């Protein structure tokens, strides 16, 4: 990294940073202005893969970011919103193009095509640019407003790009239309306990169960769903169900998972698996069930031993057994993403549960020969992990169906974490869509004067667009599966994330923006396809106008009791809450009601040295007493 850049090149650096999405400044919640430093720009651009250490490198980076669409003829993607004004897209043509008709084709995702021609009044010139081979124009041109929603392809001459046709807003269930209010339950699945039900007079055979294994499971979730339905609830919310680290069960935070595309296999109810023969380690389970807290290492040890037995029994099924066929269908539907995930876990076991950055270098790339050879020579172990994912998915589907049968109108309310662990399978298989070395978090605020480092790698805004937003699509599909609603943690991250440059502390970070309009279009499309309500966790530093855009997009806001107060400290009445919101007493990272009254969260912040100074602590305690 250069120590500094000569003044004439600082303008070039700023342009590169702008095009890469790095904001030049931000204001914190205290009203303090924070210009993005040259050091932060260089560090972040380098992490993104742009060589800004020399004049030649900066010219190449500027060429890649600024001129590529002018040469291609189309952008990396085109996005239209159905139901808004007549949709238009931008194309890039030679200057003389406006004097002649321009033919276009849309290849619909169902295999059909639509064709047309732009001429005369259809075309609006947006910008002009002189390149070495002549003048080019950026043109705005219309597309039909009756295109079906979906992921299509736009073809203009020799150029082709993805065309995303999305509905005008996210899906809204009929139960919430017209200002109706609904209520539901929320629970951390791992903390729920399910007592065993023994066979006996008056007990239905289907109700007999052995109880949990020291952690809530998907059968427990089904029981909760039936109870919620009996009480008249319309929704059951849970923590993120993301896959964690089986070999490191102490890494138990659902908000810092191994992968957000797959499920936590600890939630599998062993006794509900058809391959289970009814035997259980009674003495070990008695201790696990009696514990006040979840003993993750011992729970994993007990369940892993059972999983190994289940897998051996499954392999004894005849090739034409229905469960064999169902498993193969699940594997085919999971595709390369499932294959990579399972291969990661097989490799992690092989390398003594070390994080993938500590594996031998050839194994850092999922496409490498070393990884391919390992997969060929150790075919059984990835299949074992695929089997566990199949069991988890099947049981989650059963829990969702139990809720539907019980009359829970909107069903399961799932939670999507904002990021994944840098040493997990999601980062290992990212294929350049995440930025290694950089992390994201939050700037200093009233809750943490030093800022926050969440430890996750941020998505690359340019490569996300170049990939046609496929990584985001896969993430939404995985988390809207079996769900009637999805909460998106830190939804402001769809617009911008606070990046922390490699080697710097959280207070030295900068905001990086994302293609927000396009991301919202994808979110609306997937919401409709899954008939899944979208809820945004919009707490903390919220950009101006962000909540208004959420309302336009049918994305519900999140309102928490402790924050919903008038200027004089009085709590707001329910009718003062915005109608398009999910109201809750607290969240996973805020104090419980009892903790709020007692101030135990303030005691914790003091113990962790999270107050800026003693006056900051006194102000917080005084405000709480009011």
pLDDT of residue 205: 46
Beta pairing, strands 485-488 & 412-416: parallel
pLDDT of residue 208: 46
pLDDT of residue 616: 87
pLDDT for 5 beyond 80 = no
Mean predicted lDDT score pLDDT of the chain: 92
Convert 30-62 into a string of H (helix), E (strand) and C (coil): CCCEEECCHHHHHHHHHHHCCCCCCHHHHHHHH
pLDDT of residue 31: 86
Q: CA–CA separation, 136 vs 126, rounded Å?
A: 11
SS3 call for 527: helix
Q: CA–CA separation, 36 vs 26, rounded Å?
A: 8
pLDDT of residue 6: 55
Higher pLDDT, 573 or 203: 573
pLDDT of residue 442: 92
pLDDT of residue 204: 46
CB-based contact 441:506 (threshold 8 Å): yes
pLDDT of residue 200: 47
CB-based contact 387:311 (threshold 8 Å): yes
Label residues 281-320 b or e (16+ Cβ within 10 Å = b): eeebbeebbeeeebbbebbbebbbebbebbbeebeeeeee
Task: Just give the CATH number of 184-414.
Answer: 3.20.20.80
Distances (CA, A) of 131 to 100, 136, 137: 21, 7, 10
pLDDT of residue 29: 81
pLDDT of residue 474: 98
Q: Report phi then psi at 263, rounded to 5.
A: -105, 155
pLDDT one-digit tens code per residue, 373-407: 999 999 999 999 999 999 999 999 999 999 999 99
H or E element in which residue 116 lies: strand 113-118
DSSP string for 255-294? TS-SEEEEE-GGG--GGGSTT--S---HHHHHHHHH-SS-
pLDDT of residue 203: 40
Q: What's the CATH architecture for 74-167?
A: Sandwich (2.60)
- Percentage of the chain lying above the pLDDT 90 cut: 77
pLDDT band for position 247 (cuts 50, 70, 90) = confident
Q: Residues with Cβ < 8 Å from 96, sequence gap 6 or more? A: none
DSSP 495: T
DSSP 103: E
- Spell out the domain ranges in the chain: 7-70, 74-167, 184-414, 591-626
pLDDT one-digit tens code per residue, 154-193: 999 999 999 999 999 999 998 898 778 999 999 999 999 9
pLDDT one-digit tens code per residue, 445-462: 877 778 999 999 999 999
pLDDT of residue 389: 99
Average pLDDT over every residue of 86-96: 93
Average pLDDT over every residue of 79-96: 93
Average pLDDT over every residue of 337-352: 97
Order of all β-strands in the sheet with 88-94? 88-94, 134-142, 124-131
Q: Report phi then psi at 234, rounded to 5.
A: -110, -5
pLDDT band for position 197 (cuts 50, 70, 90) = low
Average pLDDT over every residue of 110-114: 98
pLDDT for 529 beyond 80 = yes
Q: CA–CA separation, 428 vs 467, rounded Å?
A: 17
DSSP string for 443-493? -S-SS-TT-EEEEEPPB-HHHHHHTTTHHHHHHHHHHHTT-SEEEETTGGG
Average pLDDT over every residue of 340-347: 98
């Amino acid at each position: 990294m250069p120590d500094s850049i000569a003044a004439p090149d600082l303008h070039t650096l700023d342009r590169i940073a702008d095009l890469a999405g790095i904001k030049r400044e931000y204001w914190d919640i205290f009203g303090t202005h924070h210009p993005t430093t040259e050091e932060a720009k260089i560090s972040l651009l380098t992490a993104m893969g742009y060589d800004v250490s020399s004049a030649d490198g900066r010219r190449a980076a500027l060429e890649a970011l600024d001129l590529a669409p002018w040469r291609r003829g189309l952008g990396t993607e085109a996005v239209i919103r159905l139901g808004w004004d007549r949709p238009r897209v931008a194309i890039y043509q030679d200057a003389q193009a406006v004097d002649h008709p321009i033919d276009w084709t849309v290849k619909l995702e169902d295999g059909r095509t639509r064709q047309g021609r732009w001429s005369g009044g259809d075309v609006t010139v947006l910008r002009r640019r002189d390149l070495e081979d002549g003048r080019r124009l950026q043109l705005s041109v219309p597309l039909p407003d009756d295109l079906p929603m979906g992921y299509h392809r736009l073809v203009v001459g020799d150029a082709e790009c993805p065309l995303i046709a999305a509905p005008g807003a996210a899906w809204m269930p009929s139960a919430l239309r017209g200002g109706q209010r609904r209520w539901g339950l929320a629970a951390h699945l791992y903390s729920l306990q399910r007592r065993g039900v023994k066979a006996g007079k008056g007990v239905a055979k289907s109700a007999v169960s052995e109880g949990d294994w020291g952690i809530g499971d998907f059968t427990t979730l089904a029981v909760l769903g039936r109870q919620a339905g009996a009480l008249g609830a319309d929704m059951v919310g849970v923590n993120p169900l993301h896959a964690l680290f089986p070999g490191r069960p102490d890494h138990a935070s659902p908000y810092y998972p191994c992968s957000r595309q797959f499920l936590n296999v600890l939630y599998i109810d062993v006794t509900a698996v058809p391959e289970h023969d009814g035997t259980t380690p009674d003495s070990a389970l008695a201790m696990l069930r009696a514990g006040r807290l979840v003993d993750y290492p011992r729970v994993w040890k007990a369940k892993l031993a059972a999983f190994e037995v289940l897998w051996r029994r499954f392999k004894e099924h005849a090739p034409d057994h229905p469960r064999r066929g169902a498993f193969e269908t699940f594997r085919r539907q999971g595709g390369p993403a499932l294959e990579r995930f399972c291969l990661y876990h097989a490799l992690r076991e092989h390398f003594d549960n070390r994080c993938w950055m500590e594996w031998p270098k050839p194994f850092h790339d999922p496409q490498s020969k070393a990884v391919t050879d390992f997969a060929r020579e150790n075919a059984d172990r990835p299949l074992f992990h695929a089997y566990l994912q199949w069991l988890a998915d099947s049981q989650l589907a059963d829990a969702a169906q139990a809720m539907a049968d019980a009359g829970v109108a909107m069903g399961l309310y799932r939670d999507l974490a904002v990021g994944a662990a840098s040493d997990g399978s999601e980062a290992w298989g990212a294929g350049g869509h995440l930025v290694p070395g950089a992390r994201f978090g939050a700037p200093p605020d009233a809750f943490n004067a030093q800022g926050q480092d969440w430890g996750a790698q941020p998505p690359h805004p340019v490569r996300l667009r170049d990939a046609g937003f496929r990584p985001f699509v896969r993430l939404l599909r995985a988390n809207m599966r079996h769900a009637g609603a999805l909460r998106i943690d830190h939804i402001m991250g769809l617009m911008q994330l606070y990046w922390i440059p490699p080697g710097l502390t959280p207070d030295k970070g900068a905001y990086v923006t994302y293609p927000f309009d396009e991301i919202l279009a994808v979110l609306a499309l997937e919401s409709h396809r899954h008939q899944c309500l979208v809820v945004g966790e919009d707490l903390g530093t919220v950009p101006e106008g962000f909540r208004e855009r959420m309302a336009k997009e049918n994305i519900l806001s999140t309102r928490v009791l402790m924050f919903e107060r008038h200027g004089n400290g009085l709590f707001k009445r329910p009718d003062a809450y915005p109608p398009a919101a999910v109201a809750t007493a607290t969240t996973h990272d805020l104090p419980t009601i009892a903790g709020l009254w007692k101030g135990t969260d303030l005691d914790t912040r003091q113990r962790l040295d999270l107050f800026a100074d003693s006056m900051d602590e006194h102000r917080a305690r005084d405000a709480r007493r009011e």
